[in-house]
C-alpha cells in the first residue's frame, strides 16, 4: 500500500510538472508572437482641459477623457465641477499598426442619465512617428526636432513642437475639440520601445 501511494504521488507530480511546462511553453510562444507584431507603446499623457463646455446645472461639468485606438479604449479619471480640469493621467496604448486613427473624446460624468458629450478630436501621430524613426540619439537635450502647424487636416489649436528630451522624443499637443461650442485639451506623446518588438525603422 505504501509503495502504491508513493507511485501515485510521483505520477501526480510528474503530470503537474508536465502541465506547467506545457503552459509555460505556450505562454512563451504567445508572448513572443505578440512582441514580434508589436511596434511599441504610445503613452498619451492627458494633461488638462481648457474652457470646456458647460453641461451640469448651467455652471460647470464633471469631465473625463476617453482615448480610442482600434479595439483599445482607455479612460482618464473624472474631475468634478471644473471647466479647466487637470487630469495628468498617462494612458498607454499598444501599437501594432500606425495607420489607425486615435480618437480623443471628452464626456461629462452623470449619475442618473447617460454621460453628455463635450467634444472630440483626432490625434495625428504621423509627424511624431517620423521624428521617432529618424534616429536622434546624438541630439543635445532640449533640441527642437520638428514644428507642426495647425491646419484643416489636424485638430491643433496652436503650433506643436517635437522635442528631444531625456533620451526620447516628446510632443505636446493642444487640441481644439470638434462638435462642441468650446473647449481644448492638452496632451503629451511619448514613444516607448519594447525589447523584442518590431523595429520602428523597418516599418518606414
Q: What is the CATH classification number for the domain harbouring 198? A: 2.60.40.150
In the predicted structure, residue 27 carries a pLDDT above the cut 50: no
Residue 150 pLDDT level (bands cut at 50, 70, 90): very high
105 plus 121 within the same structural domain: yes
Number of folded domains that form the chain: 2
Residue 25 pLDDT level (bands cut at 50, 70, 90): very low
Question: Which of 57 and 19 is assigned the larger pLDDT?
Answer: 57
Residue 43 domain boundaries: 39-203
2 plus 46 within the same structural domain: no
7 plus 89 within the same structural domain: no
16 plus 93 within the same structural domain: no
* pLDDT for 30: 41
Q: Which three cell numbers stand for residue 46?
A: 492627458
Distance CA 167, CA 64 (A): 31
Question: Where does the chain show beta strands of DSSP type E?
Answer: 40-50, 63-69, 72-75, 86-95, 102-108, 116-123, 143-148, 160-165, 168-176, 184-192
pLDDT averaged over every residue in the chain: 86
In the predicted structure, residue 140 carries a pLDDT above the cut 90: no
65 plus 122 within the same structural domain: yes
Q: Which three cell numbers stand for residue 53?
A: 463646455
Return the closest-CA partner of residue 125 out of 158, 162, 177: 162
8 plus 62 within the same structural domain: no
Instruction: Kindly report which listed range (112-116, 132-136, 189-193) carries the lowest average pLDDT score.
Output: 132-136
114 plus 182 within the same structural domain: yes
In the predicted structure, residue 36 carries a pLDDT above the cut 80: no
Q: How many CA atoms lie within 13 A of 119 on its CB side?
A: 22
126 plus 112 within the same structural domain: yes
1 plus 101 within the same structural domain: no
80 plus 29 within the same structural domain: no
Residue 196 pLDDT level (bands cut at 50, 70, 90): low
User: 525603422: which residue's cell?
Assistant: 201
pLDDT tens string 55-65: 987 789 999 99
In the predicted structure, residue 174 carries a pLDDT above the cut 70: yes
17 plus 64 within the same structural domain: no
* pLDDT for 115: 95
* pLDDT for 138: 77
Residue 192 has a CB neighbour count (10 Å cut-off) of 13
pTM of the model: 0.79
Question: Which of 67 and 99 is assigned the larger pLDDT?
Answer: 67
166 plus 189 within the same structural domain: yes
Amino acid at each position: 500500500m505504501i509503495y502504491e501511494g508513493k507511485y501515485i504521488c510521483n505520477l501526480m507530480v510528474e503530470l503537474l510538472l508536465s502541465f506547467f511546462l506545457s503552459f509555460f511553453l505556450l505562454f512563451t510562444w504567445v508572448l513572443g508572437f505578440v512582441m514580434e507584431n508589436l511596434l511599441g507603446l504610445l503613452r498619451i499623457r492627458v494633461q488638462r482641459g481648457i474652457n470646456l463646455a458647460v453641461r451640469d446645472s448651467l455652471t460647470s461639468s464633471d469631465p473625463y477623457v476617453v482615448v480610442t485606438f482600434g479595439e483599445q479604449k482607455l479612460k482618464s479619471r473624472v474631475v468634478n465641477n471644473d471647466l479647466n480640469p487637470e487630469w495628468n493621467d498617462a494612458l498607454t496604448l499598444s501599437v501594432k499598426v500606425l495607420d489607425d486613427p486615435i480618437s480623443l473624446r471628452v464626456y461629462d460624468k452623470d449619475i442618473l442619465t447617460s454621460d453628455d458629450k463635450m467634444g472630440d478630436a483626432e490625434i495625428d501621430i504621423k509627424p511624431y512617428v517620423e521624428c521617432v524613426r529618424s534616429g536622434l540619439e546624438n541630439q543635445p537635450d532640449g533640441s527642437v526636432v520638428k514644428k507642426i502647424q495647425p491646419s484643416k487636416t489636424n485638430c491643433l489649436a496652436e503650433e506643436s513642437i517635437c522635442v528631444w528630451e531625456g533620451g526620447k522624443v516628446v510632443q505636446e499637443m493642444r487640441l481644439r475639440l470638434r462638435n462642441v461650442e468650446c473647449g481644448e485639451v492638452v496632451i503629451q506623446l511619448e514613444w516607448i520601445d519594447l525589447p523584442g518588438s518590431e523595429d520602428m525603422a523597418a516599418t518606414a
